[in-house]
Amino acid sequence: MVQIFSMFKLQNYINGTLQAPASNEYLDNFDPSTGKVYSLIPDSDERDVNQAVEAAKAAFPSWSVTPKEKRSEIILKIVDLINANYDKLAEAESRDNGKPLWLAKKVDIARAASNFHFFATGILHFASEAHMMEDRVINYTRRDPLGVVGCISPWNLPLYLFTWKIAPALAAGNCVVAKPSEVTPMTAYLLSELCVEAGLPMGVLNIVHGLGPKVGSSITEHDDICAISFTGGTATGAQIAKVAAPKFKKLSLELGGKNPNIIFDDCDFDKALNTTLASSFANQGQICLCGSRIFIQRGIYEKFRDAFVEKVSRRKVSYPTDPEAKLGAVVSKGHMEKVLSYIQLTKEEGGTILTGGNQVHLEGEHSEGYYIEPTIIEGLSYDCRTNQEEIFGPVVTITPFDTEEEVLMMANSTQYGLAATVWTENLTKAHRVANDIHMGIVWVNCWLVRDLRTPFGGVKNSGVGREGGFEALKFFTEPKNVCISL
Ligand code: NDP
């Protein structure tokens, strides 16, 4: 790829301007496909967050009363600019994250534009309730913006998840202090340039780059930030809740998962097989919705296993700009080492690696990149660590089952409850399993089919609250009931 960002210094976006961090210190930003540093990120701290909060507070009185049509118009300008800069953003996302360029084009940037478009138009249809009483009393509910809100996002779908939070927050009339993952900051930085170009008023959106424990925790702790929308790991979510809860901040937490794929004997075999390939290894398995525990009913177990192993062993792992790459690099050296340590653990737990299991060493400039073979493991108990802990990489286990009761017990056995897929041509069974599975999202005979109006989120340790559609607009507004006696 062209070295468009060679040792480029990213900047914070505070009060409408791009600026250096107060510390004037920078962190290395690595290109996962080569393992080399290619740009520098502001090592921001509490001072930058304080400045961002002051800017957001100053902007709030005006932005919160700006007519929603006008807010919508400004946000739609950002959509136009994302579309006008589509290839540049996709290249930046692919380079920063390691994902195949075709994937960044097809999914990440398309969805970032859709997120803004969806909420810029959704706000025009967002209505509140009225409750009449028989004795000539009427209640109506106001839904006012909250004030200054914090949005903290992870590295796996960088611009996609960053905008999924920012868009509803801004559309609802809030001012935002946001932190992208320090591991993948580039597209959030490019977005800040587009916000300047779109004429987003000063202070309405502020983007502070840097480390989670410095910038993220300063956002969580700040007394003038009244709500936190967070997507990331369960341990970080727990840490944020610990700080935010005693301050009575509104909290939306989208956390980890260990999602089951349940494949019954009576499924559409080819469709189940091909979709399971994607749901296992898309984005190098680094999607919170990827299915990492694949349960296959005994009658088709061997046929499915053999066909799955054959297809997976032919998946090409390559550098992101290779159009043939099915998997690119995982996001960082640390993450690669974590995933490889889980592969080692599966051996210690008695698992058999059917395909994959190794780091991939490419040639030339990509020889130091972070590549892992897509890996399938068989022969583990449902309750071992490999089957209970989130690996978040290209590693799946396959397990046979006999009955619906047995597979539900295994599927529901983890601390997580984010998403499941169910494969069967029996409609009654599909409804029954969807009812009995303890997850926030269930896909039947499909995966990652997304209607942005639907409630999105998990149960148990996968999170608190729901994003998407009016759920997100409700989160970013405060209901106030007004009761009038006529
Ligand atoms: P992390 O929890 O490590 O980080 C998420 C964000 O929080 C980053 O911006 C991080 O900054 C920041 N952060 C870290 N520590 C703190 C802190 N103490 N206070 C405030 N913010 C902090 O998650 P990852 O980035 O590693 O993302 C992977 C995880 O995200 C997986 O568990 C995955 O399942 C989950 N996820 C969940 C989704 C869902 O919708 N449920 C969707 C996508 C991912 P920094 O990068 O600097 O560490």
How large a percentage of the chain has pLDDT more than 90?
Answer: 98
Please, are residues 327 and 97 in contact by the beta-carbon 8 Å criterion?
Answer: no
Tens of pLDDT, residues 155-168: 999 999 999 999 99
Characterise 356 by phi-psi region: left (phi > 0), alpha (psi -120 to 50), beta (else): left
The rounded distance, in Å, linking the Cα atoms of 328 and 99 is 5
Closest among 385, 389, 391 to 372, alpha carbons compared:
391
Radius of gyration of the chain (CA): 23
Q: Does 458 sit in the ligand 1 pocket, CB within 6 Å?
A: yes
How large a percentage of the chain has pLDDT more than 70?
Answer: 99
The rounded distance, in Å, linking the Cα atoms of 438 and 419 is 9
Domain ranges of the chain: 3-255+462-485, 260-451
Q: Does 386 sit in the ligand 1 pocket, CB within 6 Å?
A: no
Whole-prediction pTM = 0.97
Q: Which residues are catalytic?
A: 254, 288
Joined together, the tokens standing for residue 302 give 């061997």
Tens of pLDDT, residues 32-60: 999 999 999 999 999 999 999 999 999 99
The rounded distance, in Å, linking the Cα atoms of 176 and 180 is 12
CA dihedral 260, 445, 122, 77 (to 10 degrees): 90
- Nearest residue (by CA) to ligand 1, atom 13, is 212
The number of the ligand 1 atom at minimal distance from the alpha carbon of 240 is 19
| Backbone phi and psi for residue 18, each to the nearest 5 degrees, phi listed first | -90, 125
Report the separation in Å between the CA atom of 424 and the middle of ligand 1, taken as the mean of its atom positions. 34
- Nearest residue (by CA) to ligand 1, atom 32, is 233
Q: What is the structure's pLDDT at 6?
A: 54
| Backbone phi and psi for residue 79, each to the nearest 5 degrees, phi listed first | -60, -45
The rounded distance, in Å, linking the Cα atoms of 232 and 293 is 20
Please, are residues 391 and 339 in contact by the beta-carbon 8 Å criterion?
Answer: yes
Tell me which H or E stretch contains 316: none
Please state the separation of Cα 192 from the chain's center in Å.
19
The rounded distance, in Å, linking the Cα atoms of 398 and 376 is 7
Q: Does 418 sit in the ligand 1 pocket, CB within 6 Å?
A: yes
Is the pLDDT at 405 greater than 80? The verdict is yes
The rounded distance, in Å, linking the Cα atoms of 249 and 430 is 38
Q: Does 233 sit in the ligand 1 pocket, CB within 6 Å?
A: yes
Q: Does 414 sit in the ligand 1 pocket, CB within 6 Å?
A: no
| Backbone phi and psi for residue 78, each to the nearest 5 degrees, phi listed first | -65, -40
Report the separation in Å between the CA atom of 212 and the middle of ligand 1, taken as the mean of its atom positions. 8
Helix (H, G, I), strand (E, B) or coil at 371: strand
Those residues with Cβ within 8 angstroms of residue 427's Cβ, 6 or more apart along the chain or in another chain: none
Other C-beta atoms closer than 10 Å to the C-beta of 286 total 23
Is the pLDDT at 189 greater than 60? The verdict is yes
Compute the average pLDDT of residues 69-89.
98
Q: Does 460 sit in the ligand 1 pocket, CB within 6 Å?
A: no
Report the separation in Å between the CA atom of 363 and the middle of ligand 1, taken as the mean of its atom positions. 31
DSSP 228-284: EEEES-HHHHHHHHHHHGGGT-EEEEE----EEEEE-TTS-HHHHHHHHHHHHHGGG
Average pLDDT for the chain: 97
Q: How confident is residue 7, by pLDDT bands cut at 50, 70 and 90?
A: confident
Under CATH, domain 260-451 is a member of which superfamily?
A: Aldehyde Dehydrogenase; Chain A, domain 2 (3.40.309.10)
Tens of pLDDT, residues 196-226: 999 999 999 999 999 999 999 999 999 999 9
Architecture of domain 3-255+462-485: 3-Layer(aba) Sandwich (3.40)
Report the separation in Å between the CA atom of 125 and the middle of ligand 1, taken as the mean of its atom positions. 32
The number of the ligand 1 atom at minimal distance from the alpha carbon of 257 is 34
Q: What is the structure's pLDDT at 2?
A: 46
Q: Does 369 sit in the ligand 1 pocket, CB within 6 Å?
A: no
